[in-house]
Amino acid sequence: MEQIFDLVIIGGGPAGYEAALEAAKYRMKTVLIEKDKIGGTCLNRGCIPTKTLLHSCELYAQMKKCSAFGIHSDEVRCSMEEIQERKEKVLGTLRDGILSLMKKNKITVYSGCGRLLDANHVQVCAENEQDPNVVLETKNVLIASGSVPAMPPIPGIHLPNVLTSDELLDKKDVFASLTIIGGGVIGMEFAAIYSALGCKVTVIEFLDRILANMDKEISQNLKMILKKRGVDIFTGARVEEILPDESGRLICRYREKDVLKEAVSEGILAAVGRRAYAEGLFSDAFVCKSEEDMNIPDGKLFIKTERGCICVDNFGRTSIPGIYAAGDVTGGVMLAHAATAQAVNAVCHMAGGAPVFSMDCIPGCVYTDPEIGSVGMTQDEAKKAGIHVIVKKYPMSANGKTVLSSQERGFIKVVVDEESRRILGAQMMCARASDMISQFTAAIVSGLTLEQMASVIYPHPTFSEGIGECVRA
């Protein structure tokens, strides 16, 4: 008699492995399928490797300025090869930790590609042709196949040394010059990494400002800080083509205010976002389209998709009962913690439980120097929604911990509903912003008022006491 599983998960990233651990709490018999390395994009090609590189680069930058703290070093140098070696050690440690948790919770892990044959059968297609393909019968399926870097349709985009973020992360030497196409989170984090390593960085952004989805003041301040570090930033600029020059460098031609300009560099990073990855997921038994209509043949299973993303409801359910999806493959907010929350909520629904996480308030962070944290509504968003707000702002230049550690300019801003006094949003640009933004997330989810946040005592001297100063301002 074949074994019937309660849940088969396709994809071993944050959505996949956290869903498996949640399923174990409900004693669900679970299988996790991963075609590459456990941990998915976040662990292997995104969050963790970029932050590991950023940490090394920040230490390098601090050591070059250590004389300002009364510490003198005759020689400070960095080795990208050694930095990469450390990165791989970090990734290996974390992967081993996840696999250990899978084993501890009796979760079966298959290496290969997961393919849905129908609503209740998933084929594990092994990469090694000598290994037989396995067919698993299951009550539920969770698709957590993630995303891949998007490549813009620019002539010359496939030339050598035009790289995606995945490829640049593995480079063991440093370009002397780098042009970044895209001024979003990925582009800004790589601008921070490479400028800290002494690389000449140029950023070309199509929209009128970098980090266009964040508070305007954050965009303006980060642009000023990066320009002080030698980064050239051009906004409202459209890249038209990429050409090689006679010396082997790359010419990035772009149009800014109807004027054709060029940026010449050794390498180019295409950082225009990511797209959902669903290739090979569905057998011929499925039809993937935006709307069910008369063109769906009899006997075929309809999976609703939109621009390549799998459509789901608030519980992670697709258009087919028993098939769920979570994370980047569903589009929306492509963040590891959002994917985890979505997946855990989906497992709770399968098990008949209530959702654990509120998906209405998802914080975002940018790991530049200084760090950026944002959650909830910005002042402009509140205005567009017709909400009258009070805006509290505190400059971190007045914070003792900021001054004694010689941090860059920064601030904390809080958006408050004028009538109810509830916290609607917060934006911060300062040291440890990625850690502190959770306090505002908790406040928004809990419906706390400005006065309730102001009643909290913060230890001194800390970066976090800036929050208290801001809400009491």
In a domain, 154, yes or no: no
Same domain for 128 and 209:
no
pLDDT < 70 stretches in the chain: 1-2, 128-132, 293-294
- Confirm whether 16 is domain-assigned: yes
Burial of 207 (0-12, 13-18, 19+ CB in 10 A): middle
45 and 101 fall within a common domain: yes
Say what the pLDDT of residue 1 is. Answer: 38
Instruction: Count the neighbouring beta carbons within 10 Å of the beta carbon of residue 307.
Output: 8
What pLDDT score was predicted for residue 133? Answer: 81
Angle at CA of residue 121, ends 118 and 123, nearest 5°: 105
Domain assignment present for 355: no
- pLDDT in the model for residue 128: 66
Residue 64 lies in a domain: yes
Whether residue 184 sits in one domain with residue 140 = no
Given 251, 272, 293, the domain boundary residue is 272
Residue 425 lies in a domain: yes
pLDDT value at residue 332: 86
Q: Model confidence over 441-472: pLDDT tens digits?
A: 999 999 999 999 999 999 999 999 999 999 99
Q: Pick from 272, 292, 313: which residue ends a domain?
A: 272
pLDDT of 363? 97
Radius of gyration of the chain (CA): 24
β-pair type (250-256, 259-265): antiparallel
Which residues are annotated as catalytic?
460
Residues 267 and 283 in one domain: no
Is residue 360, in this structure, part of any structural domain at all?
no
Buried residues in 261-299 as b, exposed as e (16+ CB within 10 A): eebebbbbbbbbebbbbbeebbeeebbeeeeeeeeeeee
Residues 422 and 390 in one domain: yes
Do 402 and 454 fall into the same domain?
yes
In this structure, are 58 and 25 located in the same domain? yes
| Residues 129 and 29 placed together within one structural domain of the fold | yes
User: Dihedral sign, CA of 65, 66, 67, 70?
Assistant: positive
On whether residue 156 sits in a domain, the answer given is no
Q: Is 208 in the same domain as 136? A: no
Q: Residues 39, 143: one domain? A: yes
The reported pLDDT for the residue numbered 253 is: 98
Strand order in the sheet with 200-204: 162-163, 267-270, 177-181, 200-204, 232-234
Whether residue 331 sits in one domain with residue 218 = no
**Residue 197 lies in domain:** 162-272
β-strand 372-376 against 423-429: which pairing, if any?
A: antiparallel
- Amino acid 293: pLDDT: 67
240 lies in the same domain as 339: no
Per-residue pLDDT at 131? 60
pLDDT digits (tens, 9 = 90+) for 112-138: 999 999 999 999 987 766 566 899 999
Residue 365 in any domain: the answer is: no
Mean pLDDT of the residues in the chain: 94
Q: Give yes or no for a contact between 205 and 237, defined as CB atoms under 8 angstroms apart.
A: yes
Is the C-alpha dihedral spanning 344, 346, 350, 356 positive or negative? positive
Last residue of a domain, one of 272, 304, 325: 272
- Give pTM, 2 decimals: 0.93
Looking at residue 129, its pLDDT comes to 61
In whole angstroms, what separates CA 422 from the centre of its chain? 28
CATH number of the domain to which 255 belongs:
3.50.50.60
The residue assigned the tokens 């990625």 is 434
CATH number (domain holding residue 467)? 3.30.390.30
Number of domains in the chain: 3
